[in-house]
Amino acid sequence: MNALSTRHLAYGFALVMISLGLAACAGFDLGDIVKVKTPNAIQQTTGLPARTSLNDAEAEYRAWFENTQRVGAQWKASIERGNDVRALLSQLTLAALDEVGPTLAGVPVVGPALPALTGLVGLFIGAARLRKEKEASFNKGLKEGRVGAGAAPQENAS
């Protein structure tokens, strides 16, 4: 009986291997059977299901990765252009002050007041940005304080 079950196992194994060989020759791909888990963040951005076939996952990954690199490069280029514009404006402002400063220094009232006037202009220009930074810092502190105190974090309504 033991020899009979061993013979049946051998025939069964041979049948499975022949079936897989014929399926491979017919264009059957095992990558369509193997399923992989799709991360939640990728599901939300691409609309893929929670489990995807291996072949589809590889193709979607390549497309997602190329898109992420392209968008990141565009954002980096935009930031660099913004830094260039800021540097240019800073240079123009400093060059104008260098040109006007010695001329105005000879005027009795304007000469000593020039540093104070430029400081006030700087306050008005940066006031909105500074207010936003302080508000974000305050909200983050409130959120961390709630989490540290054991309360559930709440989203700001504004």
Domain ranges of the chain: 1-30, 34-102
In sequence order, which residues have a C-beta less than 8 Å from that of residue 106 and are 6 or more positions away? none
Predicted pLDDT at 3: 59
Predicted pLDDT at 131: 74
One digit per residue, pLDDT tens: the chain, 158 residues?
Answer: 565 688 888 889 999 888 888 877 777 777 788 899 999 988 888 888 999 998 889 999 999 999 999 999 999 999 999 999 988 888 777 766 666 665 555 555 555 666 666 666 766 666 667 777 888 888 888 888 777 666 555 555 44
Q: Is the pTM here over 0.85, yes or no?
A: no
The dihedrals phi and psi of 52, each to the nearest 5 degrees, come to: -125, 150
C-alpha span between 23 and 30 (Å, rounded) = 9
- Tokens 């995807």 sit at which residue? 52
Predicted pLDDT at 74: 95
